[in-house]
């Protein structure tokens, strides 16, 4: 009997390890409206109204469950694109999915990503639930496997009085999930600090300049007069996982350039105002809404 419980405990630990591999923690963002109708990596055109997502490794057609860690909201999305290729980000979701996650006003949020099913596969948890509700032969009453998505429901074998204690011991690895999440959160925070500390006046940095469409609205968070200050500010924002960073250069009354750092873009002023409030409450960043057009 002792040998049996040792095997059962080892099996439970293996089950937890497998479950932990399914979960991925990081930041989620959503597609900008400018990508509507454009082809994704799978060849499918991006439709903001569909529940789709981009992921770096999962096969096209995989169904993922994306859960916000701060508000508990969750959606299921189908992978049809590749990305995001930004440090710290694990998934980009469609606008429809972002609305269900209440992600529009925040822009980004920390999430947990789980595989619900692979292409051509039935839902994993449906099969698991069927095993839980199926009648169990009496001779195999002690061979009971519990999942870790719900509190364990164990039925100790009648002849063995100590069985409940032993079964309870098999559930001890259960708290490893939040521990893993906490460790990943700690690692992500460490990356934030490293990015800021590594910035120096002299050194080699990777820069990519693009010319976006001058339309919509953004939230201006800084107005600077030197390029060194601009680089420091951008590095600080990138360390906090902001990637939609715009730089608008204007001529000051004295003839010198003024560098305005703007976060965005948003189609409507209302969306930009909501994002401004989110920046103030969540990140203690003050700003104001500005039009991105030159008119």
> Judging by DSSP bridges, how do beta strands 89-93 and 24-30 pair with one another?
parallel
Q: Tell me, what's the pLDDT at 195? A: 47
For domain 1-197, the CATH superfamily is RlpA-like domain (2.40.40.10)
Contact 185/25 with Cβ under 8 angstroms?
yes
Domain boundaries defined on the chain: 1-197, 217-291
Summarize pLDDT for 128-153 with one digit per residue, the tens: 544 554 545 444 434 343 333 334 44
User: Hey, which bits of the chain come out as E strands?
Assistant: 24-30, 52-54, 63-68, 74-81, 89-93, 109-117, 217-224, 245-251, 257-266, 288-291
Q: Tell me, what's the pLDDT at 57? A: 92
Q: Tell me, what's the pLDDT at 136? A: 52
**Segments of the chain scoring below 70 in pLDDT:** 1-22, 122-199, 295
Q: Tell me, what's the pLDDT at 261? A: 95
Locus of tokens 């990015």: 195
Q: Tell me, what's the pLDDT at 1? A: 47
CATH T-level fold of 217-291: Alpha-Beta Plaits (3.30.70)
Q: Tell me, what's the pLDDT at 62? A: 95
Q: Tell me, what's the pLDDT at 286? A: 92
């Amino acid at each position: 009997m002792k040998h049996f419980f040792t095997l059962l405990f080892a099996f439970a630990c293996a089950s937890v390890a497998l479950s932990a591999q399914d979960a991925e923690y990081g930041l989620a963002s959503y597609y900008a409206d400018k990508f509507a109708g454009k082809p994704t990596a799978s060849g499918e055109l991006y439709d903001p109204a569909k529940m789709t997502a981009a992921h770096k490794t999962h096969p096209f057609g995989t169904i993922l469950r994306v859960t916000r860690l701060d508000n508990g909201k969750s959606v299921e999305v189908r992978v049809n694109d590749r990305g995001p290729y930004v440090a710290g980000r694990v998934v980009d979701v469609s606008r429809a999915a972002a609305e269900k996650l209440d992600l529009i006003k925040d822009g980004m949020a920390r999430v947990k990503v789980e595989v619900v099913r692979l292409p051509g596969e039935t839902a994993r948890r449906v099969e698991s639930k069927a095993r839980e509700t199926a009648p169990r032969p009496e001779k195999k009453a002690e061979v009971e496997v519990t999942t870790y998505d719900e509190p364990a429901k164990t039925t100790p074998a009648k002849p063995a009085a100590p069985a409940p204690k032993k079964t309870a011991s098999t559930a001890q690895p259960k708290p490893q999930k939040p521990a893993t999440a906490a460790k990943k959160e700690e690692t992500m925070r460490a990356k934030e600090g490293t990015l800021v500390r590594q910035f120096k006046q002299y050194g080699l940095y990777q820069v990519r300049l693009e010319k976006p469409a001058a339309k919509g609205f953004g939230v201006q968070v800084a107005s600077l007069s030197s390029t060194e200050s601009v680089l420091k500010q951008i590095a600080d924002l990138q360390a906090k996982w902001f990637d939609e960073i715009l730089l608008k250069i204007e001529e000051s009354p004295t003839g010198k350039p003024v560098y305005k750092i703007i976060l965005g873009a948003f189609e409507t002023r209302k969306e930009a105002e909501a994002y401004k409030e989110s920046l103030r409450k969540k990140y203690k960043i003050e700003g104001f809404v500005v039009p991105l057009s030159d008119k």
